[in-house]
């Protein structure tokens, strides 16, 4: 199948050609024709499958087809993403694929000055990519007009719910015109996502390229069971022995990320940490250095790494397992993207075995255990029940964690953010997230601020070498 057979017009095909995309990925082949038929879509697509182009290309096509009636553009398409990094990347894609069209786009997110955003919005844009918090700030200040939105896209909707954005999303929905096309993309499907889909989508077409909660096929997964104290040494050993040149390492806490990064640097392994306590400049630099190869290891917490698209990233290491099983799927999805091979290694100590059980039940797969003399336990790990005989235990444990988070998240409720006339008022904690407010939450929740990134995620030229199902 070719892009031209999907109904995309010449200026878009030209941009794709220049990007080196020869064939659509499976999600693109499925989504593009359906979206062009103006249907609502509920798409289950892993990160790295090419989902961004899957919704961006038909969106550009539809917007370009409809004649503009006003001289100054107005927001016709709204794309919401959970993180600033992802927002920046999505807008970069809109920019790249739409470079031969006369559509205007911009991205707005928190952590950076609001005034330049106000100035850009004032000039008028057709496509607005935003994180929910900052979008509501603009709504509250009446610096954005969403009254003519024709398309709403929720990207990585599961992450948005995980990050406590449900009330923000509802608020945005309440101010959008009723008649519009809705696209909901999510890597995983929890009951909350299904409920959101029910309330948002009209007779949606369901698209799935990877089975529910299934980890990407091109990813070789393995785990080492060992004492907590030996993890750092094993990681350094794996990097040095395997001559790994680019590895993304996940820790659960910001402090842990800093300490590990310092340890690796002390061992002569170039490393940088990326998390919500780092300044935006430091985060941008760390990511850029990592992408271009001058930093070998990027140690990240979940929120900081979410949505980051690093072309051909070969290795992901879970230095600590995430306590929400679905985060495992997201983390390892950083590698093995767009049909490439990748390896995902987990370092698991005794107290994390419960998390491991949950993860294996979720992915319905036993992760292979590797033994390494001098590092790992000799004990063979046996899952308490076969992963594929899951009776939804994972979900209930994860649901419990979410419920605790939501309880803490009371300050984020629609009530507090709404004024009498139903307009959003500016909350003073807009850029804070639940896990920042309650120190106790660090053990069961994320530890991030979700600091922002400017638009720096230029695609690496290797992307253009990729090819899909000829
Ligand atoms: P995504 O899942 O949207 O984050 O995309 C993952 C990566 O695949 C990005 O780096 C895209 O640039 C790349 N990509 C998307 N579609 C194609 C395609 N049809 N051919 C080659 N690369 C692609």
pLDDT tens digit string along 375-389? 988 777 777 665 555
| Cα–Cα nearest to 308, from 331, 339, 280, 338 | 331
The reply to whether 203 and 258 lie within a common domain is no
Arithmetic mean of pLDDT, 419-445: 30
The reply to whether 186 and 55 lie within a common domain is yes
Q: Is the CB of 376 under 6 A from ligand 1?
A: no
Residue 203 has pLDDT above 80, yes or no: yes
The reply to whether 423 and 356 lie within a common domain is no
In a domain, 375, yes or no: no
| Cα–Cα nearest to 248, from 294, 292, 293, 305 | 305
Residue 436 has pLDDT above 60, yes or no: no
Arithmetic mean of pLDDT, 259-280: 89
Most confident of 57-61, 193-197, 207-211, 254-258: 57-61
In a domain, 381, yes or no: no
Portion of the chain with pLDDT greater than 70, in percent: 76
Q: Which of 369, 398, 413 delimits the end of a domain? A: 369
Instruction: Check residue 465 and give its pLDDT.
Output: 32
The reply to whether 353 and 307 lie within a common domain is yes
Q: Is the CB of 267 under 6 A from ligand 1?
A: no
Residue 223 has pLDDT above 90, yes or no: yes
Q: Is the CB of 466 under 6 A from ligand 1?
A: yes
**How would residue 415 be classed by pLDDT, with cut points 50, 70 and 90?**
very low
Q: Is the CB of 51 under 6 A from ligand 1?
A: yes
The reply to whether 160 and 267 lie within a common domain is no
Where b means 16+ CB within 10 Å and e means fewer, 199-218 reads: ebbeebbebbbbeebbbbee
Q: Which of 52, 307, 469 to mutate to test the pocket of ligand 1 (most atoms within 8 A of CB)?
A: 52
State how many domains the chain has: 3
For the chain, give the secondary structure using H, E and C. CCCHHHCCCHHHHHHHHHHCCCCCCHHHHHHHHHHHCCCCEEEECCCCCCHHHHHHHHHHHHHHHCCCCCCCCCCCEEEECCCHHHHHHHHHHHHHHCCCCCCCEEEECCCCCCHHHHHHHHHCCCEEEECHHHHHHHHHCCCCCCCCCCEEEECCHHHHHHCCCHHHHHHHHHHCCCCCEEEEEECCCCHHHHHHHHHHCCCCEEEECCCCCCCCCCEEEEEEEECHHHHHHHHHHHHHHCCCCCEEEECCCHHHHHHHHHHHHHCCCCEEEECCCCCHHHHHHHHHHHHHCCCCEEEECHHHHCCCCCCCCCEEEECCCCCCHHHHHHHHCCCCHHHCCEEEEEEECHHHHHHHHHHHHHHCCCCEECCCCCCECCCCCCCCCCHHHCCCHHHHHHHHHHHHHHHHHHHHCHHHHECCCCCECCCCCCCCCHHHHCHHHHHCCCCCCCCCCCCCCCCCHHHHHCCCCC
Specify the higher pLDDT residue, 131 or 395: 131
Query: Of 61-65, 178-182, 408-412, which range is least confident?
Result: 408-412
Q: Whose CA is nearest to atom 18 of ligand 1?
A: 21
Place of tokens 């069961």: 444
In a domain, 434, yes or no: yes
| Cα–Cα nearest to 296, from 314, 309, 280 | 314
The reply to whether 179 and 254 lie within a common domain is no
The reply to whether 126 and 199 lie within a common domain is yes
The reply to whether 113 and 16 lie within a common domain is yes
**How would residue 414 be classed by pLDDT, with cut points 50, 70 and 90?**
very low
| Mean predicted lDDT score pLDDT of the chain | 80
Instruction: Check residue 274 and give its pLDDT.
Output: 86
Specify the higher pLDDT residue, 213 or 407: 407
Specify the higher pLDDT residue, 280 or 395: 280
The reply to whether 61 and 84 lie within a common domain is yes
Q: Is the CB of 342 under 6 A from ligand 1?
A: no
Q: Whose CA is nearest to atom 15 of ligand 1?
A: 50
The reply to whether 49 and 125 lie within a common domain is yes
Query: Of 50-64, 256-270, 350-364, 391-405, which range is least confident?
Result: 391-405
Centre of ligand 1 to C-alpha 21, Å, is 8
Evaluate if pTM is beyond 0.75.
no
Residue 81 has pLDDT above 60, yes or no: yes
Instruction: Check residue 202 and give its pLDDT.
Output: 93
Arithmetic mean of pLDDT, 185-193: 85
Instruction: Check residue 432 and give its pLDDT.
Output: 29
The reply to whether 184 and 269 lie within a common domain is no
The reply to whether 331 and 410 lie within a common domain is no
Arithmetic mean of pLDDT, 222-228: 94
In a domain, 284, yes or no: yes
Q: Is the CB of 460 under 6 A from ligand 1?
A: no
Centre of ligand 1 to C-alpha 57, Å, is 12
Centre of ligand 1 to C-alpha 311, Å, is 9
Q: Is the CB of 330 under 6 A from ligand 1?
A: no
CATH of the domain at 125: 3.40.50.300
Residue span of the structural domain in which 355 resides:
219-369
- Strands 315-318 and 271-274: what pairing? unpaired
C-beta of residue 175 within 8 angstroms of C-beta of residue 182? no
Instruction: Check residue 382 and give its pLDDT.
Output: 73
Instruction: Check residue 467 and give its pLDDT.
Output: 39
Q: Which of 369, 404, 429 delimits the end of a domain? A: 369
Centre of ligand 1 to C-alpha 61, Å, is 18
In a domain, 78, yes or no: yes
Arithmetic mean of pLDDT, 36-47: 90
In a domain, 380, yes or no: no
**How would residue 407 be classed by pLDDT, with cut points 50, 70 and 90?**
low
- Ligand 1 atom, smallest distance to 466 CA: 21
Q: Is the CB of 99 under 6 A from ligand 1?
A: no
Centre of ligand 1 to C-alpha 309, Å, is 9
Portion of the chain with pLDDT greater than 90, in percent: 51
């Amino acid at each position: 199948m070719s892009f031209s057979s999907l109904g995309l017009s010449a200026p878009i095909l030209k941009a794709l050609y220049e990007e080196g995309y020869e064939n659509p990925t499976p999600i693109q082949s499925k989504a593009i024709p359906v979206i062009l038929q103006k249907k609502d879509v509920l798409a289950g697509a892993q990160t790295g499958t090419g989902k961004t182009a899957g919704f961006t290309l038909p969106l550009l096509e539809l917007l370009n087809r409809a004649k503009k009636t006003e001289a100054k553009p107005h927001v016709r398409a709204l794309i919401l993403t959970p993180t600033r990094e992802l927002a920046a990347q999505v807008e970069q894609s809109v920019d790249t694929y739409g470079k031969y069209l006369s559509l205007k786009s911009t991205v707005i997110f928190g952590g950076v000055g609001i005034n330049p955003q106000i100035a850009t919005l004032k000039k008028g844009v057709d496509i607005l990519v935003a994180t929910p918090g900052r979008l509501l700030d603009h709504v509250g200040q009446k610096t954005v007009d969403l009254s003519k939105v024709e398309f709403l896209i929720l990207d990585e909707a599961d992450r948005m719910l995980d990050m406590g954005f449900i009330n923000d999303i509802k608020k945005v929905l309440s101010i959008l015109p009723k008649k519009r096309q809705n696209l909901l993309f999510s890597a995983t499907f929890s009951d909350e996502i299904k409920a959101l889909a029910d309330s948002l989508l009209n007779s949606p077409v369901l698209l799935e390229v990877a089975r529910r909660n299934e980890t990407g096929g091109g990813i070789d997964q393995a785990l080492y069971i060992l004492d907590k104290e030996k993890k750092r040494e094993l990681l350094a050993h794996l990097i040095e022995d395997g001559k790994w040149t680019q590895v993304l390492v996940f820790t659960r806490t910001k402090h842990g990320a800093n300490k590990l990064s310092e340890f690796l640097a002390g061992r002569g392994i170039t490393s940088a940490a990326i998390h919500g306590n780092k300044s935006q400049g430091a985060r941008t630099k760390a990511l850029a250095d990592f992408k271009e190869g001058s930093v070998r290891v990027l140690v990240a917490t979940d929120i900081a790494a979410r949505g980051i698209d690093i072309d051909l990233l070969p290795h992901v290491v879970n230095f600590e397992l995430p306590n929400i099983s679905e985060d495992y799927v997201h983390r390892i999805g950083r590698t093995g993207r767009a049909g490439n091979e990748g390896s995902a290694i987990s370092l698991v100590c005794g107290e994390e075995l419960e998390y491991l059980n949950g993860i294996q039940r979720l992915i319905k797969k036993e992760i292979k255990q590797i033994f390494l003399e001098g590092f790992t336990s000799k004990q063979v790990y046996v899952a308490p029940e076969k992963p594929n005989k899951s009776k939804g235990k994972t979900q209930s444990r994860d649901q419990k964690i979410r419920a605790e988070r939501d309880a803490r998240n009371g300050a984020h409720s629609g009530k507090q953010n709404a004024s009498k006339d139903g307009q959003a008022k500016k909350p003073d904690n807009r850029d804070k997230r639940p896990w920042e407010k309650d120190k106790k939450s660090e053990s069961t929740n994320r530890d991030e601020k979700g600091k922002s990134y400017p638009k720096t995620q230029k695609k690496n030229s290797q992307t253009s070498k990729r090819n899909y199902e000829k």
